Structure 1
Amino acid sequence: TVLGAGMPLLEAVRISTGVLKNTFIKERLDRVGKELERGGGFAEALAASGVFPSLAVRMISAGENSGSLGQVLNDLAEFYEEDVNTRLAVLTSAIEPTLMIVMGALIGLVVLAMYLPIFQLASVAI
């Protein structure tokens, strides 16, 4: 990570802000950078932004106090990456059967639309 390479926290926050595409989070992270410029704590600035989960803020606070912020940020990144992958796997496994049911219903409607007129013709007396 950039912190592990010796980059100052404020510069790392500015670089992170520069690469974000989500304007909402970008604005909030910019506020965090401004708070750091004023000498505020990283965890307090993140908590004030209202964007980051309280678990992450508490862990970052502990990392700041213990001097292991870089390691804590790596651990948080791994945790949230696993969380996202798990949620995607659950979503994917839920979408597949739903899609199969919808496709089956559509095919059933097409077959019904094709055969219903034939059955109606068969019931008409000659």
Structure 2
Amino acid sequence: AIYIAFKRFYKTEKGRLMIDSLILKAPVFGLLMKKVAVSKFSRTLSTMMTSGVPILEGLTIVSKTSGNKVIENALMKTRQSISEGRSIAEPLAETDIFPPMVIQMISVGEATGALDSMLSKIANFYDEEIDVAVDSMTALLEPVMMVFLGGVVGGMIIAMYLPIFKLASVVG
């Protein structure tokens, strides 16, 4: 029942915005999700610009493929600002999603006319960051899993042998 209520709430606009916002603010996974979002944004927009897709159309497509309502809204606001004549870096800087390094690299890419290659470099950098973060999380989870499995196996052994020991004490 709770699962169904959660799914229904998540399907609403307000629910999706709230849950996606909480995901991005989560202590460990939030930072990883932001890195994934920046990488996906950079890679997709770079590919589209290289293919000749106009930037406004590219931002619309990228926002729909982000998978997170908070990021989608931020990219749509960026798209709106660009259509009003602002640069890409300015509205992205106003969001809390994109780090200052990404904003500066996009700004340099705009100024030099090599935005697509700069976005590709950002994506490559964040892909490496994601790999390092996932590897370190995996390394941290391995000992926790070993302790958990040890507890489960120990509990099963105790559950099996306790009746035998009680039987032996009654007989003996």
Flag whether TM exceeds 0.5 (same fold): yes
**Per chain length, whose mean CA-contact separation is higher, i.e. which structure has more relative contact order (CA < 8 Å, sep 6+)?**
2
Q: Equivalent residue of 1:3, what SS?
A: helix
Q: Distance in 2 between matches of 1:19 and 1:117?
A: 57
Q: Hey, what does 1:79 align to over in structure 2?
A: 125
The answer to whether the Cα contact below 8 Å between 1:32 and 1:46 also exists between their aligned partners in 2 is yes
The answer to whether structure 1 residue 40 and structure 2 residue 67 are counterparts is: no
Q: Distance in 1 between matches of 2:108 and 2:114?
A: 8
Cα deviation digits, residues 41-90 of structure 1 (max 9, x gap): 10001011222111111111111112211111000011111111221122
> Out of 97, 115, 122, which is 2:161 matched to?
115
5+ long unaligned stretches in structure 1: none
Pairs within 5 Å for 1:38-77: 38-77=84-123
Q: Distance in 2 between matches of 1:118 and 1:14?
A: 67
The answer to whether the Cα contact below 8 Å between 1:63 and 1:69 also exists between their aligned partners in 2 is yes
Q: Larger Rg: 1 or 2?
A: 1
> Out of 115, 126, 134, which is 1:88 matched to?
134
Cα deviation digits, residues 65-119 of structure 1 (max 9, x gap): 1221111100001111111122112222322332122111111112112223333
5+ long unaligned stretches in structure 2: 1-46
Q: Hey, what does 2:75 align to over in structure 1?
A: 29
TM-score by length of 1: 0.87
RMSD, matched Cα = 1.8
Q: Distance in 1 between matches of 2:81 and 2:152?
A: 56
> Out of 26, 49, 58, which is 1:12 matched to?
58
**2:116 corresponds to which letter in structure 1?**
G
Shift of 1:125: 7.4
Q: Equivalent residue of 2:98, what SS?
A: coil
The answer to whether the Cα contact below 8 Å between 1:31 and 1:49 also exists between their aligned partners in 2 is no
**1:11 corresponds to which letter in structure 2?**
E
Report the count of equivalent residues: 126
Same amino acid, percent of matched pairs: 36
The answer to whether structure 1 residue 99 and structure 2 residue 148 are counterparts is: no
Cα deviation digits, residues 1-20 of structure 1 (max 9, x gap): 22123332222112212333
Q: Distance in 1 between matches of 2:96 and 2:171?
A: 74
